[in-house]
Structure 1
Amino acid sequence: MSLDPPAYILSLQNNIRARPISWEGAVRAKTITDNDLKKIKSIDKVRKEQRRQTIEGDTESYVSLLLGGKDGQSIFQSAAKRPDIIQYMLVLSGDLIDDIPSFASALTKHPEPYSPLLPLLKQSSNPEEPIPLLTSSVLSSLISSALMSSSKADKQLGEALPQLYTYLSSLAKSTDAGLQDIAVQEYSAVLRTSTSRLQFWKQRDETLTPLFDILRNASGSSRDTDSALWSGSSTIRSISDGGIGGGVGLQLLYHVLLVIWQLSFEGASVGEGLHDEQDIVLLFTHLLRLSPKEKTTRLLLGTLLNLVSASPSVLLPAAVLARLPTTLKTLSTRHLTDPDLLDDLKALQEKLDEYTATQTTFDEYAAELETGHLRWSPPHKNPDFWRENARRILDENKGELIRKLAEIMSKPWEQDRQVLAIGCNDVSCLVKEVPERRSQLEKAGLKGRVMELMANEDESVRWESLRAVGEFLRYQVA
């Protein structure tokens, strides 16, 4: 999938192309050689076809100019003290790689194709510094070419890719949407193979977390206030300025979603982690409600389908709790025309229908506990549910669900205190239905926790904790 280059990079490149360079002065200063200058002039400011013929007629010589060889250093090394030449050659290198695929392939076959470029990424900590920005653009194109032309692991590539990801992550963390867009487009350029995707996942604290921060901003929530997502009450927002929630532009949103979609092809390796660490099903279900264009809806559905297909035991229950089936039903009533979108929508609906047809209310409750978050779903306030399932909840997998409930309630939930109120309700119902098993709840720390919550500043938490403590006291032996 080809994307237009980021506007910021294009503007920078055009500005540099227009600058005059004192090449003869550089030769006199012995910054570059006469031979270097001849090569540069033979391919600079000439028609693309003439440039291609010149390069293909002496490919090895031009590879040596950019990357170094037996006759001398790379021009990026010899001209290290001339930032104007470095910038110009980075722009020219990018043009050559993009316009002449055979030359890009020849560069990747150099013994050390990335060595002259990687130090340039670290030349400045200023995210707007031209040399690192231009270097990242060249590296992403070069690495993309290397990844697509070879299926075997490469030591040089294995060293370069993490460094590129680290640099791009610094752009993604910026508050400047233009820099963020550069990062995600260059991520997308290299996330075309399993090797690059798994390395991206390995560095996910750097690479992925800032992207999910952008998506949460777009959704109108944050990592600490995901209760906004659980409510599921939002609708499609009007798009008056090309953006959605949090001022996130539509193009940036699309590019971030494209990166996550590419990563989802490693669903077997990343699906459960995306659920545990990012609540991806909940977030993407919410974004489906907000999605203003078919192209963003297509990526959201495609990602969910890839992940659910790869990790059904974890992600299907999460999808039901996030009300994805209802969202898909609403989505299917829209006038949608994209055939890939419609295919993914149908396939996802079929998977969810097949799953929900086999589920019981107990399964729904157990799945909710597994998500690590509680909401006022039907089982919590249903007396019949507790009469039929309280003992099973206590017994299931040697008390695993009770330990999960205790783990959830041990957290402060300062941004979503209803979770604590719901947890206290569940403890109250368990004691009421199976009073002889109170000691199991005490050993899990639940009695002590509900007693602590009697002093909570939230009224609903205090009320539900009081009910739970009352049930314990009801069966207390005098």
Structure 2
Amino acid sequence: MSLDPPTYLASLQSNIRQRPIPWDGAVRAGTLTEDQLQKIRAVDKVKKEQRKQIVEADLDAYRILFVGAKGQKSVFELATKRQDVVQYILVLLRDLLAGIPALAKALFKSGDPYQHFLPLLGHSSSSDDPVPLLTSTVLVSLMASSKDESAATVDKALPMIFSYLSSLTKNSDAGLQDIGVQEYSSLLYSRVCRRQFWDQRSETVAPLIDILRSALGVNSDDVSASLWKSTTTTTAISRFEGSLSGGVGLQLLYHVLLVIWQLSFDASEVGDELNDEYDIVLLYTQLLRLSPKEKTTRLLVSTLYNLLSANPNSLLPTAVLARLPALLQNLTAKQFSDPDLQEDLDNLRVLLDEYTKTKTTFDEYVAEVNSGHLRWSPPHRNTVFWAENARKILDYENGELVKKLAEIMSKPWENDKAVLAIACNDIGCLVREVPGKRTQLEKYGLKTRVMELMGEADENIRWESLRTLGGWLKYSFDAK
């Protein structure tokens, strides 16, 4: 998959190509050999096709030039003290790798082509030093062109390059972020590479999720609460042309979505954890509401389909709670020019329609509690629902739903106080319908928590907790 190079990187490489290098003086100083200089001059500043013919005709010589051989030092080993030469050769090698795939495979004939490059990633911690950045472009091009999966690549080089690229995605400079994200995309060419990317997700995936959250303007301490709250709040839906909220440009947004889409090829392996750790289904549903372009919509829909179709039991309930079916119904009315987008949209809608046809209100309630977030959905105020399902809720999987309610109530919910009011309502309904099970509720500390919530500043919480405690005491007195 070919992406246009980020502007900053293209400008840096162009400037370095135009720098005059005193090559003859460098040979006299021992910075490189006469033979190495001849090899460089043969392919420097010539047409791409001519360059390709020269390199392919002498692959071994160019392999030795860049990675050395037994008894022969590479140009990088000799030029280590001349940063202008190192930078120039890094740009030249990146150009050669981009246009001559055979060179990438040839470099692996030496066994480990990385030994002289990996140290350059740590050349400096300053973002102004171009050497680590230029080195990363060489390593990414080498791996992507060769599609190598050897131990040298997967176990040694890939973790290091992922860590370096992570530092770019965390940078406050959007240009550097975009370079890191695009280079990620080039490296996710196989399941093995994607597995390593996922294994390092605290470094790799987490910063990308932060970028997507910033695009939505979600920057609070409790991201999950903010996202769920937005599903029940009526707000104006803005369409962005130049940038999204949070200062995330459309190009960066698209490239981040592209990387997550590539990761979703392994949805059966990573889907559940991706949702548990990053609320990916809810996040993507909200992004889909605000998607500014058809190409971002396509990646959002395709990723959701990959995730939901691979993990229907765990992720479809969350998608329904996030109101994805209603959103898809709205999108269906639009005319999209991309046939792949239309196909994925139709498949996703069918998948959700089939799921919702077979699910009861009880199933919806279970999914909502298991999501870890409550909202005023229809079951909470429905007396018939509680009369029919209270005992099922208490008995469900040996009390797991009650335990989950206790877990929800234990949190402060500073960004969505309604959750505590809803939880008090539900506990009160359980006490009213099955008073004999009050001991089970008390075992999880729910009575104590309800009493604590009577001191909350929020009026709705105070009212619901008072109502619940009143019912609790009523049945306690009746029992005596």
Scaled by the length of structure 1, what TM-score is found?
0.96
Q: Residues 84-128 of structure 1: CA distance to partner in whole angstroms, max 9, x if unpaired?
A: 111101100100000111112212343111121111111111234
Q: Which residue of 1 aligns with 2:66?
A: 66
* Counterpart AA for 2:238: R
Q: Secondary structure at the match of 1:455?
A: coil
* Counterpart AA for 2:201: R
Deviates more, 1:19-28 or 1:226-235: 226-235
Q: Count the aligned residue pairs.
A: 474
- The structural deviation recorded for 1:453 is 1.6
* Counterpart AA for 1:229: L
* Counterpart AA for 1:181: D
- The structural deviation recorded for 1:234 is 4.6
Residues in 1 aligned to 2:239 and 2:315: alpha-carbon distance in whole angstroms = 30
Q: Percent identity over the alignment?
A: 59
Residues in 2 aligned to 1:40 and 1:55: alpha-carbon distance in whole angstroms = 10
Deviates more, 1:208-217 or 1:35-44: 35-44
Q: Secondary structure at the match of 1:103?
A: helix
Q: Secondary structure at the match of 2:141?
A: helix
- The structural deviation recorded for 1:228 is 4.1
Q: Which residue of 2 aligns with 1:2?
A: 2
Q: Which residue of 2 aligns with 1:189?
A: 186
* Counterpart AA for 2:112: E
Contact 1:56 1:103 (C-alpha < 8 Å) held by counterparts: yes
- The structural deviation recorded for 1:35 is 1.7
Distance 1:254 1:154, change over 3 A: same
Contact 1:236 1:291 (C-alpha < 8 Å) held by counterparts: no
Q: Which residue of 1 aligns with 2:215?
A: 218
Is 2:266 the counterpart of 1:269?
no
Q: Which residue of 2 aligns with 1:237?
A: 238
Contact 2:239 2:290 (C-alpha < 8 Å) held by counterparts: no
Q: Which residue of 1 aligns with 2:407?
A: 407
Is 2:155 the counterpart of 1:154?
no
Scaled by the length of structure 2, what TM-score is found?
0.96
Contact 1:450 1:465 (C-alpha < 8 Å) held by counterparts: yes
Q: Secondary structure at the match of 1:397?
A: coil
Residues in 2 aligned to 1:43 and 1:170: alpha-carbon distance in whole angstroms = 33
Residues in 2 aligned to 1:143 and 1:64: alpha-carbon distance in whole angstroms = 18
1:68-107 alignment runs, 5 A limit: 68-107=68-107
Q: Residues 223-260 of structure 1: CA distance to partner in whole angstroms, max 9, x if unpaired?
A: 624444333345542324x1112121111110000000
Contact 1:234 1:289 (C-alpha < 8 Å) held by counterparts: no
Q: Secondary structure at the match of 2:396?
A: helix
Distance 1:200 1:95, change over 3 A: same
Residues in 2 aligned to 1:234 and 1:26: alpha-carbon distance in whole angstroms = 65
Deviates more, 1:226-235 or 1:306-315: 226-235
Deviates more, 1:465-474 or 1:372-381: 465-474
- The structural deviation recorded for 1:32 is 1.4
Contact 1:235 1:289 (C-alpha < 8 Å) held by counterparts: no
Contact 1:235 1:290 (C-alpha < 8 Å) held by counterparts: no
Q: Which residue of 2 aligns with 1:344?
A: 344
* Counterpart AA for 1:194: R
Match of 1:209 among 200, 206, 222: 206
Contact 1:108 1:145 (C-alpha < 8 Å) held by counterparts: no
- The structural deviation recorded for 1:14 is 0.2
Q: Residues 375-403 of structure 1: CA distance to partner in whole angstroms, max 9, x if unpaired?
A: 11111111111111010000011111111
* Counterpart AA for 2:196: Q
Q: Residues 136-183 of structure 1: CA distance to partner in whole angstroms, max 9, x if unpaired?
A: 111111111232xx5x55344321101011001111111111011001
Q: Which residue of 1 aligns with 2:163?
A: 166
Is 2:465 the counterpart of 1:468?
no
Q: Residues 450-471 of structure 1: CA distance to partner in whole angstroms, max 9, x if unpaired?
A: 1222222322222222222222
Q: Gaps (5+ residues) in structure 2?
A: none
Q: Which residue of 2 aligns with 1:389?
A: 389
- The structural deviation recorded for 1:37 is 1.3
* Counterpart AA for 1:438: R
Q: Which residue of 2 aligns with 1:129?
A: 129
Residues in 2 aligned to 1:228 and 1:335: alpha-carbon distance in whole angstroms = 31
Q: Which residue of 2 aligns with 1:31?
A: 31
Q: Which residue of 1 aligns with 2:173?
A: 176
Q: Secondary structure at the match of 1:475?
A: helix
Q: Which residue of 2 aligns with 1:22?
A: 22
Contact 1:234 1:286 (C-alpha < 8 Å) held by counterparts: no
Distance 1:437 1:422, change over 3 A: same
Residues in 2 aligned to 1:132 and 1:235: alpha-carbon distance in whole angstroms = 44
Deviates more, 1:85-94 or 1:71-80: 71-80
Distance 1:146 1:48, change over 3 A: closer
Q: Secondary structure at the match of 1:476?
A: helix
Residues in 2 aligned to 1:274 and 1:225: alpha-carbon distance in whole angstroms = 15
Q: Which residue of 2 aligns with 1:355?
A: 355
RMSD: 1.5
Residues in 1 aligned to 2:201 and 2:9: alpha-carbon distance in whole angstroms = 25
Q: Gaps (5+ residues) in structure 1?
A: none
Residues in 2 aligned to 1:470 and 1:205: alpha-carbon distance in whole angstroms = 46
Distance 1:433 1:109, change over 3 A: farther
- The structural deviation recorded for 1:297 is 0.3
* Counterpart AA for 2:472: F
Contact 2:104 2:142 (C-alpha < 8 Å) held by counterparts: yes
